[in-house]
Structure 1
Amino acid sequence: MTHRGFRKSVFIALSLFLLMGSLFFTLPVQTVALEEETVDVIVHYWRFGGDYDGWNLWAWAEGKDGQAFSFTEEDAYGKVARFQISGLRAGDRIGLLPRRSTPDNDWAEKDYIDRYISKWDEANGQVEVWILQGEETVYYSEDEVDRSPRIVEASMDDWDTLTLRTNQPIDWRGVEDRITLSDGFGIQSIESPNPDQEKTNRIIIHTDRQMDISQPPRLTLEGYGEKTVTAGKVVRTDAFDERYAYNGKLGPLFSKKKTDFRLWAPTARKAQLVVYDYWDDENGKAIDMKPGKRGTWHASLPGNRHGLIYTYRVQIGDDWNEAVDPYAKGVTVNGDKGVVLDMKRTNPKRWKPKKKPKFAEPTDAIIYELHVRDLSIHPESGIKRKGTFLGVTEKGTRGPGGVKTGLDHIKDLGVTHVQFLPIYDYATVDETRLDEPQYNWGYDPKNYNAPEGSYATNPYNPVTRIRELKQMVQTLHNEDLRVVMDVVYNHVYDAEASHFHQLVPGYYFRYNEDGTLANGSGVGNDTASERAMMRKFIVESVSFWAKEYNLDGFRFDLMGIHDVDTMNEVRKALDQIDPSIVIIGEGWDLNTPLSPERKANQKNAKKMERIAHFNDHIRDGLKGSVFDEADSGFVNGKPGMEQEIQRGITGGIDYSEELSTFAESPNQTVTYVEAHDNHTLWDKLELTQPDASKEERIQMHKLATSVVLTSQGISFLHAGQEFMRTKYGDENSYKSPDEINRLDWERRAAFDNEVRYAKGLIQLRQAKPQFRLSDPDEIRKRLTFLNAPENTVAYSLAGQKRQKTLVVVHNANADAVKVTLPSKGSWNVLVNGYKAGTKPLDVVKGNTVTVDPRSTWVLEAK
C-alpha cells in the first residue's frame, strides 16, 4: 500500500486506439467522471483561558493532503475559522486538528487528537461545527457543548502514577488538597508536565501504593466532579504484558453440547456476554461473565449454539463499551455482531482441507493480484454471478470475440497463484445496499476472521459468505491454482471505534509521546504488533485462515509497520501447517514508533528468512518513481538505469559489491512493475511518454513485463497487466467506480497479441529452471552479465545437467543494438519483440545478435 488515500481527482476523456492484429481502429470517446464535492466549513474553537496566540487549524479531506487555516474571527464562543474543503467523495470525512505554530516550527504543539466532520448539508455544501480544547468530539450545535468544569480523564500511566486531565485549566500548585482518591489511596506527590506554567489542564499524580487495573479507585477534584480511574499508558508497558498476557484460546469455543466464550479484557471492571435474536436487534440479553486468569473473562452456554448472535460488553471506568468479539469467525450483515458457528457446517461439498496444488520453491511462484469484484463486474465478462466469490468459480465464460474471461483466462495465462485483495470483512461497503454500485479495495479492516459479505450471494447469512469463499478456494485448487490472501493487520479502519480499542482501550495501537495515535500507515493508526496480545492475535488469525480456508499464501500490507519477531512467529506457525505457504509483504521503512532494528522492513530482511519483500527498486527502476508522475525509468527513456535493473534481475541479493539491495535469498524478493496501488504501467507510460506512438508504448510495456518474468525472485503480475490495463489516470482507485477498476474484457480482446506474449513468457519461465533459482550461490555462479550498449542489459544463465545456456537481452533503446554472445554457435530465439514461448522462433548463428528496439530477446544454445 503506497500512500493509499492520497489520490487525485480525475476527469478524463480518452480516445482508445486499440491494436487487433495489424489493424488499428478507434473506439468512441469514453468519459469517466469521479464525482467530488466542495464544502464550505465554519469551525468554532474554544480554548481554556483564551490563549489563542499562534493557534491555527489544520484541515483536510480524508485521505488527502492537509492545509493550514487561520482563525480570522471571534465570537462569544471563541475563535472562528472559515474555509472550503474540496475533493470530497462519497463516504469521506473532513479532518480537523488545532495546532500552535511558531516562527521556526509550524507544529510546535497539537491539540490532543484528530477530529472528524462526518456529515454536512449536502444540498448546500455547508457545515458549521464547534470544537473544544482537549476533546475529540465534534459538535454540530453550540447547545450540545458542555463547558462547565469537569474531569475529562483520569488514567493510569503506571501502577502508582496517573494523569488527571480537566476541560479547564487549574492552578496545579496546591491542588493536592482538592483531590481525593477512594479506597484509602493517598497522594505521594503531584507534578505538571509544564512546571513553568501556572495553570494546566493536565496533572500527574503519584499514589502511595500500586493500583489494581481492573478495580481502580475513583478520583474527586473539588469543583470538577469525580471520575473512575481508567487504564492509560500502563497498558503499553512491558510490565503489563508480563502480568496479563494470556496464552490460552480466546473467542467462542464451539461444541454441539455447549459453547464457551473467553474474552481478554484486563482493564474491564465488569464484562458481559450479550446475546441477540436477530442481526438488527438493538437490545440483547446480557449475561455476566466471570473473571479468570490474567485478565480473561468467561461464560458458557449449554446446547448447540450454532447461529447464536452475540457481542461483548465491558465496563471501562464509568462507561460501558460494546464490541464484536475480535476472534469471531462469523458475523452478521455489515459485521456489527458476532455469530457462533459450527465451522464444519460451512464446508462445501467435497471439501478436502489438505488438498492443494503441488508447489516446491517460492521462486516457482507467479502471483496474479486480483480484486474479487474486478474480475467479473464488466458487462461483457460472460460471468453471471458478478462481483462475488462464486463469480470467480465460473468456468467456460467468454467475452468479446470469444476470448476466455474470468477463471478460464487466469488458468490459460499459466500463473501459479491468485492473490486476492482483502477478502476479510471490511468496513466501507454497506452490505445492506448491494443493489447500489459500491466499491472499495478493502484496506479498511473491521472483522479480521470473517469473510467480506459484499462478495457473498447473501451477506445476511454468516454461513453463506464462508461457504462461498471456501468454494472459490476449492475451485481454484481444482484448477491447479494456489490462493494468496492480502491481510491488513497494520491498521484498522477506525481505531477509536474498533473492537480492539473498545475492549482494551489504548493497548492494541501505537501512540506518540504526546498521546496521539501513531500514523506510519498513513491512514490514522498503527497496530502494535510488538505487544503480546496483538502478536498473538495476528499469528492466530493467519493460522486460522491457513487451516480453515486451506490458503496457500499471505501478502502483508505495510509489513514494515510490524516487528521482526511477529513476522518470524507467523512464519513459524505457518511452517507447522504447511511449509509451502508463501509470505510476501510491503517492507517499506515507515515512520512508526518502533526502534529501527525491530521493524519488519527491507533493511531487516536478512533477519526474516523465507519472508519476501516487494522490490520497489526494480519497480521504479523500470518505469520511474511512483511518487513522481513525470519520472521515467529504464523502459520509458531514462538513461543510466542499467545497474538498477541488474540488481533486480539478480533477485535483490548480494550478487556483488556493486549489485545488492536487501535480500539474502531470491525467495525474499517479489519482482514486479505494477500493482493495485499507484498508476498502472500503461497509465505511467502515457504520463511519461505522451508523444510516443501507441505501438511504442506497447513495446515499452512488454519490455517491462518481460524483465519481471525473466528475473530471479518471486514473479508478480497485476491482473490485466497482460492486456495493458488502464485506470484512466486514477492512481489511487481504492473507492473509484467499477468503470475505473474493472477488468475490461473488451480491452482483453483488443490486445490479444500482447496476452499471448505474456502467456509465452510465463510458459518459458516455468519451463526453464534457470529463471527460478532458489540458492543465491547458484545465482552468483550461473548468472553472468555481458557487455552491452547503453540502455541495454544483457546476461547469460549457465545450464546444469541437461539444461542449456540461456542469454537474455533487454534493449530499452529506440534503435536496435548488437550484443556479443558468450560463444559462437547456433542459438534458438525463444523470445523477441513480438512473440515468446518455449518453441524456437528463429536461429541466430555466430557470436553476435541484433536485438530490436524496446524489446527483450531470449536465446538458448542449441
Structure 2
Amino acid sequence: MSDFNQLKELEHTTYPTYEGHDLGLTYTPAGSMFKVWAPTAKQVHVAMYDNAGLYDQEGNVQDHSGGREFPMSRDERGVWSVELEGDWNKYYYMYRLEWADRTLHYAADPYATAVSANGQRTAIVDLAQTHPDGWKEDAGPTLVRATDAIIYELHVRDFSMGTHFNTGEKDLSAAQGRFTAFTYTGLKDTAGNSIGLDHLLELGITHVHLLPVADFHTVNDFAEQGKEYNWGYDPQHYNVPEGSYSSNPADPEARIRELKLLVQSLHTAGIGVIMDVVYNHTFSVEKGPFDPVVPGYYYRTDEHGQLSNGSGVGNEVASERPMVRKYIKDSLRYWAEEYHIDGFRFDLMGLIDTPTVEQLTQELRSEVRPDLLIYGEPWTGGESPQPLLTLKGTQRDKGFAVFNDNYRSAIKGDSDGTASGFATGAWDQEELVLKGVFGAIHDFTAQPSETVNYVTAHDNLNLWDKILTVRHLRERCGFPQWEQGQPQDGRAAEQAVAEADPYREVNEHDLLENETVRKSLLANGMVLTSQGIPFIHAGDELLRSKYGNHNSYRSVDVVNAIRWENKARFRPVFDYYQGLIALRHSHPAFRMDHRELVEQHMEVLHSSGHVVAFALRHHANGDAWNHIVVIYNGSDTEQTILLPAESDRWHVVVDAHGAGNEIRYEVAGHRVTVSRWSMMVLYDQEEPAQPSFLTGQDQTNELAENGLEGSDEGTDQEIAGHYEEAALYRTIELIYERADRQYSGWNVWVWGTGCRDGHVELSELDDGRAVARIQVAPHVRRIGYIIRLNQWDAKDIEADRYIDVDLNRSVMQVLIHSGREEYLLLVNDNRAG
C-alpha cells in the first residue's frame, strides 16, 4: 500500500463508528426519529416536504429548497439525529448537509426504505401498511441443506413481456414487466400449457433468483413501457424496490407492497426468492447514496488517490471499512426481515472483502434465518487494491458458496466464442468435468455445498446461442452482429429478430434427435446430476435464444423476453428438464453436502474418450436406490460402457429421449450403450428410503395429511406408530474437557450427521466440562467434527476427527480431552429399541 493510501486509511480509521441498528428513519404515528451517520459534516438539517418535488424532462428533481428544515444534533459517534412529533406518514424528506468550507447540499437518506419516482426524495412510509393480507404467516421453503436448492435465474421484466403472456381471458397488459405479473395463477397458452408462475411450479425449481430488484439508476421510472431496459446492476437506493417494476412509481408504497406480493406469491407456490445484490459499486459517486453524506469514505482509492476500478465501471465500494461493512450487513438484514427474502446472490463478490462476507453469513444465519442461501461471483471486473478479495477458495468452511466457472468452462467452453467444452465437442475435458461432478472438493471447496454449478447465466451468450456459435450456425440462423444492444447493420432490433430464426436447423417432429438440443440437455443435465448447488438460466427449458446477443442488458424486450409459445413448440425439452429436476428432488444421492459423504459414496467408473461415468454407491446420503450410475457421453458416436459388477440388472431412468424417476427400460448384464451427445442414469435395486428428520411443524403437517391430527382415530398409539422410524434418530453428547476450564468462544463444527450440520454450541456443565448435543440420522454410521474457537480463530486439534456411531444406543456420550486425538465412549443406559 502506498504512503498516500496508508494515510487515507489511517484517516478513515479515526472516524467514529456506530453500532446501533436504527440509522435512517424510525417511524411511528406519534413521531419520527431521523438518524444519519455523517461524522465530517459541520451541520445537518432534515428538510421535510409534503410532495415529491418538481421534475424536469429527464425525470429528476433539481431543487430541494423550500422544505421545512429542522436542525439535528450530533453525538460522539458521528450520528446526527432529531425526533419530530406527529404523524409524518406520506411526507418526503432530505438531509441538508453543511461542510467546513461552508458548502452545502441536499442528500437522500442512504438508509432510505422508500423513495419518490426515480429516487429523488426519501419518502416516509408506514411499512406495516404495505403488508399484503396474510403477510405475518408468509414464509419461504425451508432447506435442510443448501444442496437441496435448485436455482432459476430470472429477470423481472423478461418473465412477462413476451406477447404470449397476455393471451388469456384476463387483460394482463398492466401487469406485464411488473412485480405483479408474478401474482397471477392459472395462466395457459393456447395449447393448454401452464405459463408464468404455474410454469415455475410445474418445472419444479426450488428458488427463483431475481436479477436486481433494488432501486437502480439506469431506467427512468416515467419512461414509456418498453422504451428502456436494464438488468439493474447500477444501484442507487439499496433498500428500496425498483420503481419501474411498480404499477405506480410515483406512489412510494406501491413498489413495496407489490414486491411483497411477488414474494408471497412465490412462497405460496413453495418457491423461495433469492435477491441479486450489488454492493461492490454504485452507478455514480457524486450522485450516489454515500458520497453526498460522507465524502470519500465509502470508496476505495488506488496508490495515486484516484478511485480504484475493480468493478470495471468506475468505482468500488470499500467494504472493509467498519461503517461500509455495517451498511451492507444492515441492508441484507432489512431485506431478509422486511421482505422475507430467502437468499442473496452477490454481484462481483470478489470485491467484497472476505471478512465481511464471512461475518454477514454468520450473523444472518445465526440471528435471522439459519438456512439463508448466500453465494456470489468469486471474481472482479478489474484490478483492486483490496488484498482480501473473495475469490474461489476463500469460501472454504465459511458457510457461503461461489459460482464454479471452472466447471462452467469444462462443460461449454468459453462464454462468447467458438471454443468448446465437454458437452459442446471438446476432447480431454474429463478430468475437469469430474472435479465439477464431485462438488469441486478436489478443486477449491471444502464441501460441495460451497459450489454453485451452472453453464450459463444472464451474462454472455445463453446456452442455445452458445451451442449455435460453437457449431458455426449463427449466420445460417440469421443472427445480426450486436453493438450497444442494437444490430450493427442499422436495422431495428425488432426487424432483425423477425428476420432471424434460431431454430432453423431443428426438426420439431424429431426434436430430441437434434444435435443442438441434445448438447443443451447434456450440459444442464450435468449440472443437475452433479454434487453442489445447481443453477439454470431462465428459459433454457424452452430453448431460449437472445439471437446471438451476448450482453443484452440494454436490448429491448423482443430480444430478452421469455417466449412462452416455445413451451408448446418444444414440450419434450421442458419435460426432460422437469424429469431431471424431479430426479434430483427425489434422490438425496445427488445432493450430498459434505466432503466425507462424497468421498465415501462416489466412485469414478470411466474417464476417457469423451465419456465420463461415475457411481453413487450404497444408498448414498440415505438414498432409496442402492447403486446409481451416471454416464455423460459428449462424443458424436454412441458409446458402450461397463457397469459395476455387483449387479446384473439395471433400471434406466434417464437417456437421450427422456428423464425422470420412472423406469424407462431395463438393462441385463454389465454393459450399456449410451447415445451420442447424451446422458444416462441407471440404478440397480430400490429399498425403502431412510426416514427424513421431521421438525415439529413437519410432523404437524404430516399428521394432518394422514388424517391423524385433531381426529378421534389419531390415538397416541397410532401417532407413535406413524413416527416409529423417526424415533430412531440418535443423539451424541460430545463432552469436552479443558485443563484450564475456559470454554468461552469454543464450539463444535460437525458434518455427516444427516440432520443439521455445521455450528453447534457448547453448554458448560457444573463439573468443569462442556457438552454439545448432536442429532444423528438413523442411517449415519460416522460423523466428523472439529472443536474450534469462535469462527476458526483456532482448533483444538488441527486434523478432522470422527466419531463412530453406536447403533445400540439412542444417546451416546463421548468424552473429548483437549489436545488428545482419541475420544472415550462413556457407558450409559440409553439403549435403542
Query: TM-score higher than 0.5 here?
Result: yes
* Counterpart secondary structure, 1:748: helix
The aligned counterpart of 2:673 is 850
Report the residue type matching 1:687 in the other structure: T
Q: Does 1:780 align with 2:599?
A: yes
Q: Please state whether the residue corresponding to 1:252 is helix, strand or coil.
A: strand
CA distance in 2, matches of 1:631, 1:343: 51
Report the counterpart of residue 361 of structure 1 in structure 2: 145
**Other-structure match for 1:240:** 12
Task: Determine if the alignment matches structure 1 residue 625 to structure 2 residue 414.
Answer: yes
> Aligned Cα RMSD in Å?
1.9
User: Which residue is 1:636 aligned to?
Assistant: 424
Q: Which amino acid aligns with 1:805?
A: H
Question: Cα deviation per residue 1:305-332 (whole Å; 9 max; x = unaligned)?
Answer: 1222001121233321221101011101
1:565 to 2:355 alignment: yes
Q: Is the 8 A contact 1:666 1:713 kept in 2?
A: yes
Residue 789 (structure 1) shift: 4.3
1:792 partnered with 2:611: yes
- Residue 466 of structure 1 aligns to a residue whose secondary structure is helix
Question: Aligned to 1:759, what secondary structure does the other structure show?
Answer: helix
Alignment correspondent of 1:579: 370
Aligned partner of residue 584 in structure 2, secondary structure: helix
2:242 alignment partner in structure 1: 452
Structure 2 residue 298 is matched with structure 1 residue 475: no
Q: Paired residue for 2:117?
A: 333
- Distance in 2, matches of 1:804 and 1:860, equals 7
1:645 aligns with 2:467: no
Aligned to 1:349: 133
Match of 1:696 in 2: 515
The residue number in structure 1 matching 2:575 is 756
Q: 1 CA distance for matches of 2:671 and 2:658? A: 20
Residue 674 of structure 1, aligned match among 445, 456, 459: 456
Query: How far did residue 514 of structure 1 move?
Result: 1.4
Aligned partner of 1:298 in structure 2 is: 81
Higher mean alpha-carbon deviation, 573-582 vs 833-842, is at: 573-582
Structure 1 residue runs without a partner (length 5+): 1-156, 159-192, 194-231, 654-659
**Residue 649 (structure 2) pairs with residue 826 (structure 1):** yes
Moved more, 285-294 or 359-368: 285-294
Letter in structure 2 aligned against 1:814: D
Deviation, 1:233, is 6.9
Counterpart-to-counterpart distance in 2, 1:319 and 1:399: 60
User: Aligned equivalents of 2:329 and 2:578: distance in 1?
Assistant: 36
Structure-1 separation of matches of 2:86 and 2:5:
41
Q: 2:495 is matched with which residue?
A: none
Contact 1:770–1:799 (CA<8 Å) still a contact in 2? no
Specify whether residues 544 and 781 from structure 1 end up closer, same or farther in structure 2 by C-alpha distance, changes over 3 A only. Answer: same
Look up the match of 1:321.
105
1:93 aligns with none
Match of 1:718 in 2: 537
Q: Is the 8 A contact 1:291 1:298 kept in 2?
A: yes
AA aligned opposite 1:329: T
Report what 2:792 is aligned to: none
Q: What runs of 5+ residues in structure 2 fail to find an aligned partner?
A: 55-62, 167-171, 477-504, 507-513, 686-833
CA displacement, residues 596-649 of structure 1 (integer Å, 9 cap, x when unaligned): 4x211213122x5220000001111111112x5121111111110111111111
Q: What is the Cα deviation at residue 357 of structure 1? A: 2.1
Amino acid in the other structure paired with 1:683: D
Q: How far apart are residue 507 of structure 1 and its match?
A: 0.6
1:135 is matched with which residue? none
Aligned equivalent of 1:267: 40
Alignment of 1:234-633 (within 5 A): 236-238=8-10, 240-248=12-20, 249-281=22-54, 282=63, 283=65, 284-316=67-99, 317-352=101-136, 355-382=139-166, 383-384=172-173, 385-435=175-225, 437-575=227-365, 576-588=367-379, 591-596=382-387, 598-606=388-396, 609-626=398-415, 629-633=417-421
Q: Which amino acid aligns with 1:806?
A: I
Q: CA deviation at 1:590?
A: 5.4
Which whole-Å CA distance do the structure 1 matches of 2:120 and 2:552 have between them?
A: 26
Paired residue type of 1:747: N
Shift of 1:662: 1.2
User: 2: CA distance between counterparts of 1:590 and 1:578?
Assistant: 31
Contact 1:561 1:592 in 2 (8 A): no
| Separation in structure 2 between the aligned mates of residue 345 and residue 497 of structure 1, nearest angstrom | 30
1:503, distance to aligned residue in structure 2 (A): 0.9
Distance in 2 separating the partners of 1:553 and 1:322: 34
Identity of aligned residues (%): 39
Q: Structure 2: how far apart are the matches of 1:538 and 1:700?
A: 40
Quick one: which amino acid aligns to residue 461 of structure 2? Answer: H
Which string of whole-angstrom CA distances, capped at 9 and with x for unpartnered residues, describes residues 125-158 of structure 1?
A: xxxxxxxxxxxxxxxxxxxxxxxxxxxxxxxx99
User: How far 1:390 sits from its partner (Å)?
Assistant: 0.8
Q: Is the CA contact (8 Å cut-off) linking 1:828 and 1:844 kept in structure 2?
A: yes
Alpha carbons of structure 1 residues 686 and 526: separation in structure 2 relative to 1, 3 Å = same
Pairing 1:769–2:588 present: yes
**CA distance, structure 1, for counterparts of residue 225 and residue 452 of structure 2:** 38
Task: Give the length in aligned residue pairs.
Answer: 625
Scaled by the length of structure 2, the TM-score of the pair is 0.73
Give the Å deviation of 1:257: 1.4
Establish whether residue 661 from structure 1 lines up as the match of residue 443 from structure 2: yes
Task: Name the CA distance, whole Å, in 1 between partners of 2:76 and 2:137.
Answer: 34
Relative to structure 1, is the Cα distance of residues 702 and 532 closer, same or farther in structure 2, using a 3 angstrom cutoff? Answer: same
Cα contact 1:356–1:477 (8 A) shared by 2: yes
What SS class does the counterpart of residue 33 from structure 2 fall into?
strand
Q: Which amino acid aligns with 2:657?
A: Y
1:817 maps to which residue? 639
Tell me whether 347-356 or 332-341 shows the greater mean CA deviation.
347-356
CA separation of 1:236 and 1:407: change in aligned 2, threshold 3 A: farther
What CA deviation, in whole Å up to 9, does each residue of 1:767-797 have, x standing for no partner?
A: 1110000111110111101125410100000
Q: What is the CA distance between 1:595 and its match in structure 2?
A: 4.5
Aligned-pair CA distance for 1:589: 5.1
Q: Distance in 2 between matches of 1:545 and 1:276?
A: 27
The residue type paired with residue 376 of structure 2 is G
What is the rounded CA distance, in whole Å, between the counterparts of 2:137 and 2:402 in structure 1?
A: 28
AA paired with 1:696?
A: E
Cα deviation, residue 565, structure 1: 1.0
Question: Normalising by structure 1, what TM-score?
Answer: 0.71
Q: Which has the higher strand share?
A: 1
Q: 1:533 to 1:346 in 2, by over 3 A?
A: same
